[in-house]
């Protein structure tokens, strides 16, 4: 079933005009809307129908240098010199503006990324929660006075902003990934240079307009829209004026960024590949497990780093789980995100679309059972749609059991024992999130503690929350976003030793 075809350009301009005028053919550097110095641009397309949305500047190294210098000057002279309370006031206004414009921001996001409008608005609210949270934390970046043994010394520890921070963000959450990084950086007193995905630049640019209205000083936030991702990324990693790099994306690219940052010994945060296991034990409430599976797997059409990837189901409930999940999967409506009945939008681009279809073909060729779905969905649109698939009897040799799928494909593996499930779950070299369903409290503790991941959802398919630290271990990266721990990646500890202090002169008393 498909949504009615809309005009991408009309929808986007209608959303933008509710916020500001049509300046989105430019990028945002040093508080100004500017074109690339080369004059070059690139086009952005709607993945739901292939319509051209518009074009934005194709920035190069010269533009990147301008953005870095603007961010450095703003850090030195404007933003870091403000008190935590002053930064908090501006961030709160930014949060209020995002919430006020959430519907229009959601329309922009759906137009360029494709996810259902309800999901897009949910992403806007989720991203804004990090601005609100860290606006409060800006006033609580405490130092310490340390107890020491010497009578004539005192020891102090200050927390100070690291400096200019660079963000490289993905297309699957083009608004919230930026806001989740910007929250702690801005609260700490850092300035930022953002390189959004070339597939979804508009969600980033529209946030800049609201940030300017909120009162951020010129140069505090800068954006580089570009198709020269590798070149610009390397430049930012190696630039001596950038003190911190935060990247969300593939493990392969994350390794390159880590190596490039070594030249200037930058502070780094990496949120990389997932390949999350989803364990369902015999003791589980099957309907609850299916509900969690649907929420985790099919959000953003399976294009999330924490979505369930490998479904490990114990043999006692294997057939029941597949039956219930298949029933729910067949109810999912695929189509344009602007249709309120749509559950799953398109795959973001042709490359990823073909990759998902290859996963399904590989599984089928190697003997897996396609229970439902997995077909291309052309219909009334020319977008990149894939019918959500349930694949049973998956073997560990298949690609769907080894690689992160990033699409609406449920790959189900049967297991016999708890130890076998844990061994399979931990067999990959990444460790972002894991999920498990069980009603056995002893088993819950045992398995949750043995999972080699940074996050574990127990009887819960959606685990992201501003109050909790988000991040992984192993080759899923390091660093944490959100929670009371999130500010630590954006501050340096400075120890101050004050010596030569005199004791009370006892002879004068």
Domain ranges (residues) in the chain: 8-24+44-272+476-494, 276-458
Largest CA distance in the chain: 96
- CATH topology for the 8-24+44-272+476-494 domain: Aldehyde Dehydrogenase; Chain A, domain 1 (3.40.605)
Catalytic residue among 119, 271, 324, 404: 271
Residue 33: strand pairing partners: 28
pLDDT digits (tens, 9 = 90+) for 125-145: 999 999 999 999 999 999 999
Contacts of 24 (CB under 8 A, 6+ apart): 16, 54, 56, 202, 205, 206
User: Whose CA is closest to 114, among 337, 409, 350?
Assistant: 337
All residue ranges of the chain with pLDDT < 70 are: 1-23, 377-382, 505-509
Are 8-24+44-272+476-494 and 276-458 in the same CATH fold?
no
Closest by CA to 344, choosing from 355, 356, 331, 354, is: 331
| Residue 481 annotated as catalytic | no
Can you give the pLDDT at residue 223?
Answer: 98
276-458 CATH fold = Aldehyde Dehydrogenase; Chain A, domain 2 (3.40.309)
What tokens appear for 247 in the block? 């990247």
CA distances from 332 to 232, 236, 299, 338, 371 (A): 39, 42, 11, 15, 15
Find, among 313, 270, 279, 250, the residue nearest to 434 by Cα. 279
pLDDT at 15: 57
Does the pTM surpass 0.85? The reply is yes
pLDDT at 4: 39
Can you give the pLDDT at residue 8? 58
> Residue 503: its pLDDT value, please?
78
**pLDDT score at 24:** 75
């Amino acid at each position: 079933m498909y949504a009615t075809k809309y005009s991408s350009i009309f929808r986007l301009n209608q959303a933008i005009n509710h916020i500001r005028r049509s300046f989105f053919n430019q990028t945002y550097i040093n508080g100004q809307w500017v074109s690339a110095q080369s004059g070059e641009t690139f086009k952005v397309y709607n993945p739901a129908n292939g319509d051209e949305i518009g074009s934005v500047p194709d920035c190069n190294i010269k533009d990147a240098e301008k953005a870095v210098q603007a961010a450095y000057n703003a850090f030195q002279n404007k933003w870091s010199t403000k008190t935590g309370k002053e930064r908090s006031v501006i961030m709160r206004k930014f949060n209020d503006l995002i919430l006020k414009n959430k519907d229009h921001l959601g329309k922009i996001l759906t137009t360029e990324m494709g996810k259902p409008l309800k999901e897009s608005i949910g992403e806007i609210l989720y991203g804004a929660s990090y601005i609100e949270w860290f606006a409060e934390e800006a006033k609580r970046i405490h130092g310490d006075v340390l107890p020491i043994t010497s009578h004539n010394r005192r020891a102090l520890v200050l927390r100070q902003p690291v400096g200019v921070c660079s963000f490289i963000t993905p297309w699957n959450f083009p608004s919230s990934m930026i806001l989740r990084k910007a929250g702690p950086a801005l609260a700490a007193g850092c300035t930022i240079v953002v390189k959004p995905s070339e597939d979804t630049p508009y969600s980033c640019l529209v946030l800049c307009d609201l940030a300017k209205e909120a009162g951020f000083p010129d140069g505090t936030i800068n954006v580089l829209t570009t198709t020269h991702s590798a070149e610009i990324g390397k430049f930012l990693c190696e630039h001596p004026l950038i003190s911190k790099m935060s990247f969300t994306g593939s493990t392969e690219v994350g390794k390159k960024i880590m190596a490039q940052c070594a030249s200037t010994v930058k502070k780094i945060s990496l949120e990389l590949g997932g390949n999350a296991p989803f364990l369902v034990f015999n003791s589980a409430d099957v309907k609850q497990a299916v509900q969690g599976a649907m929420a985790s797997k099919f959000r953003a059409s399976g294009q999330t780093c924490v979505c369930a990837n490998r479904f490990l189901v114990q043999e006692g409930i294997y057939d029941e789980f597949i039956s219930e999940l298949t029933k729910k999967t067949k109810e999912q409506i695929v189509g344009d995100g602007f249709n309120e009945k749509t559950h799953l939008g398109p795959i973001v681009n042709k490359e990823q679309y073909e990759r998902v279809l290859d996963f399904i073909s590989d599984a089928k060729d190697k003997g897996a059972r396609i229970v439902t779905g997995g077909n291309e969905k052309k219909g009334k649109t020319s977008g990149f749609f894939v019918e959500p698939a349930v694949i049973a009897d998956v073997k560990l040799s298949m690609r769907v059991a080894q690689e992160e799928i990033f699409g609406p494909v449920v790959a189900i593996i049967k297991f016999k024992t708890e130890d076998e499930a844990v061994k399979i779950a931990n067999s990959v070299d990444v460790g972002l999130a894991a999920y498990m369903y069980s009603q056995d409290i002893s088993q819950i503790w045992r398995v949750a503690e043995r999972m080699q991941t940074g996050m574990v959802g127990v009887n819960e398919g959606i685990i992201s929350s501003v109050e909790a630290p988000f991040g992984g271990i192993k080759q899923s990266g390091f660093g944490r976003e959100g929670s009371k721990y999130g500010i630590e990646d954006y501050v340096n500890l400075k120890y101050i030793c004050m010596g030569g202090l005199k004791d009370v002169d006892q002879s004068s008393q």
